């Protein structure tokens, strides 16, 4: 029976592969990854599932799931579907923290208007890669960094500033930053050496630590997905994102959460998240922010600091793209876009000599088109320089 169900599972994959095998990618690394998937599928096709034992069937189950998950993201990372400009910008940010030779950022477009998330299912399950190499002699030198975003917002460069936060989740999981902060905060509280202000700040952002039973349970039961871990991870990712887009994601976050003041098991209160970022940006003395910064540097060797360059321009108001000079200005482009959106739209009318009022949807289209063209022009210019130098 198990072998028949494995055959069903693989038949489902073969049906998906019948379409996906014709995918075209602009990134040679994705083409190479795709070719390796083809090699594995071809090898599985030659296997006789009827003679496999339970352990071998379980191995194939996980391999087929791996293939499905890979295709889920690769199918949304082709030349015709990928939101290429936003992926390029995120890749620029990734370079600050890790070699992009080891990782490929891919996207899955989902039907959920608030479906921004990081999917770690392929990144950190090393046993799958070991099994694939052992069974099929295929080694993946590069792993996929999977980021989900809403299909309807794939070209929305104002909303997509939150993807810096999702990239932060990858950095956090790669370096186990949350785990260290978790232990250090609990040890600091347990030590009795914190002053009154430090103690009060910790309880402001993690109010449940005032409960002795909860504190003891958290100290004895670390889990990357418990309440405390989740909250630390969210604060870290907010901090990570603000290095590149300052408080831009706060605008969007406050609105979609209705600025909720209560925490959930997965997220701190929005008000606390916004305040945490503001302390970092304004350099307000903060025990917690300094704790996050110091631990992140000790683990990664990278400072948590401003990593953008402001764009000083009136181009968008004049309805023309910005000529971006470097990677830091790419990040600053989002701040400029949000500024134009939040400012009175009469500025666009005056600067571009338009004799009629602009509707909100027209301003929305204009800004997204201009941000996309600004990034696209920078990519073309950069690649042209590389081609000439080689």
Instruction: Compute the average pLDDT of residues 366-370.
Output: 96
* DSSP code string of 48-76: -GGG--HHHHHHHHHHHHHHHHHHHHHTT
36 plus 95 within the same structural domain: yes
Looking at residue 251, its pLDDT comes to: 86
CB atoms near residue 325 (< 10 Å): 12
* Res. 59: pLDDT tops 70: yes
pTM for the model: 0.94
pLDDT range class, residue 16, cuts 50, 70, 90:
very high
* Res. 169: pLDDT tops 90: yes
18 plus 116 within the same structural domain: yes
Helix, strand or coil, per DSSP, at residue 143:
strand
Instruction: Compute the average pLDDT of residues 37-53.
Output: 96
40 plus 83 within the same structural domain: yes
pLDDT range class, residue 292, cuts 50, 70, 90:
very high
Looking at residue 122, its pLDDT comes to: 85
CB atoms near residue 254 (< 10 Å): 16
Q: What pLDDT digit, counting tens, does each position of 253-276 carry?
A: 888 888 889 999 999 999 999 999
Q: Looking at the domain assignment, is residue 74 inside a domain?
A: yes
Domain boundary among 157, 185, 208: 157
151 plus 208 within the same structural domain: no
* Res. 313: pLDDT tops 80: yes
Looking at residue 1, its pLDDT comes to: 61
Instruction: Compute the average pLDDT of residues 282-286.
Output: 97
53 plus 149 within the same structural domain: yes
How many angstroms separate the CA atoms of 74 and 68, rounded? Answer: 10
Beta bridge partners of 147: 107, 118
How are beta strands 143-150 and 103-110 bridged, if at all? parallel
- The pair of structure tokens assigned to 228 is 């405390």
8 plus 120 within the same structural domain: yes
How many angstroms separate the CA atoms of 17 and 1, rounded? Answer: 24
Looking at residue 366, its pLDDT comes to: 96
Q: What pLDDT digit, counting tens, does each position of 297-306 carry?
A: 999 999 999 9
Q: Looking at the domain assignment, is residue 304 inside a domain?
A: no
Looking at residue 389, its pLDDT comes to: 79
pLDDT range class, residue 26, cuts 50, 70, 90:
confident
Domain boundary among 131, 157, 183: 157
277 plus 338 within the same structural domain: no
189 plus 237 within the same structural domain: yes
Domain boundary among 105, 124, 157: 157
Looking at residue 74, its pLDDT comes to: 93
22 plus 147 within the same structural domain: yes
pLDDT range class, residue 2, cuts 50, 70, 90:
confident
pLDDT range class, residue 204, cuts 50, 70, 90:
very high
Q: Looking at the domain assignment, is residue 321 inside a domain?
A: no
Tell me which of 122 and 10 has the higher pLDDT.
10
Q: Nearest-5° angle of CA 328, CA 95, CA 79?
A: 90
Q: Looking at the domain assignment, is residue 162 inside a domain?
A: no
Q: What b/e string do you get for 311-323 counting C-beta neighbours within 10 Å, with b at 16 or more?
A: bebebbbeeebbe
The answer to whether the Cα torsion of 224, 241, 252, 110 is positive or negative is: negative
Instruction: Compute the average pLDDT of residues 83-109.
Output: 90
| Structural domain for 351, as ranges | 327-389
202 plus 284 within the same structural domain: yes
66 conformational bin, left if phi > 0, alpha if psi -120 to 50, beta if neither:
alpha
Count up the domains in the chain and report the number.
3
265 plus 231 within the same structural domain: yes
289 plus 374 within the same structural domain: no
* Res. 43: pLDDT tops 80: yes
């Amino acid at each position: 029976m198990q072998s028949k169900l494995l055959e069903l599972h693989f038949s489902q994959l073969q049906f998906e592969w019948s379409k996906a095998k014709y995918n075209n990618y602009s990134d040679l690394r994705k083409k190479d990854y795709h070719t390796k998937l083809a090699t594995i599928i071809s090898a599985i096709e030659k296997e006789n599932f009827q003679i496999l034992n339970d352990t071998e069937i379980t191995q194939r189950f996980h391999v087929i799931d791996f293939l499905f998950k890979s295709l889920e993201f690769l199918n949304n990372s082709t030349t015709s579907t990928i939101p290429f400009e936003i992926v390029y910008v995120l890749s620029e940010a990734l370079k600050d923290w890790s070699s992009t030779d080891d990782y490929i950022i891919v996207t899955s477009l989902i039907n959920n208007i608030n479906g921004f998330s990081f999917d770690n299912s392929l990144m950190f399950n090393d046993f799958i890669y070991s099994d694939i190499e052992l069974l099929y002699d295929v080694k993946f030198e590069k792993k996929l960094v999977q980021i989900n975003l809403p299909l309807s917002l794939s070209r929305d460069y104002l909303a997509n500033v939150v993807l810096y936060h999702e990239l932060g989740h990858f950095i956090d999981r790669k370096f186990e930053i949350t785990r260290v902060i978790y232990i250090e905060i609990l040890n600091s509280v347990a030590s009795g050496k914190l002053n009154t202000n430090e103690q009060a700040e910790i309880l402001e952002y993690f109010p449940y630590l005032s409960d002795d039973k909860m504190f003891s349970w958290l100290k004895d039961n670390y889990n990357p997905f418990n309440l405390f871990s989740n909250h630390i991870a969210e604060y870290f990712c907010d901090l990570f994102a603000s290095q590149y887009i300052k408080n831009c994601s706060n605008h969007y976050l406050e609105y979609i959460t209705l600025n909720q003041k209560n925490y959930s098991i997965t997220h701190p209160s929005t008000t606390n998240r916004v305040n945490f970022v503001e302390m970092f940006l304004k350099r307000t003395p903060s025990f917690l922010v300094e704790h996050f910064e110091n631990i992140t540097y000790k683990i990664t060797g990278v400072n948590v600091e401003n990593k953008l360059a402001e764009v000083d321009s009136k181009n968008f108001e004049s309805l023309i793209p910005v000529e971006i000079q470097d990677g830091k200005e790419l990040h600053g482009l989002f701040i400029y876009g949000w500024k134009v959106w939040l400012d009175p739209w009469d500025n666009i009318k005056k600067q571009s000599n338009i004799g009629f009022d602009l509707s909100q949807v027209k301003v929305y289209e204009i800004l997204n088109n201009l941000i996309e063209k600004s990034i696209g022009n920078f990519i073309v210019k950069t690649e042209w320089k590389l081609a000439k130098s080689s």
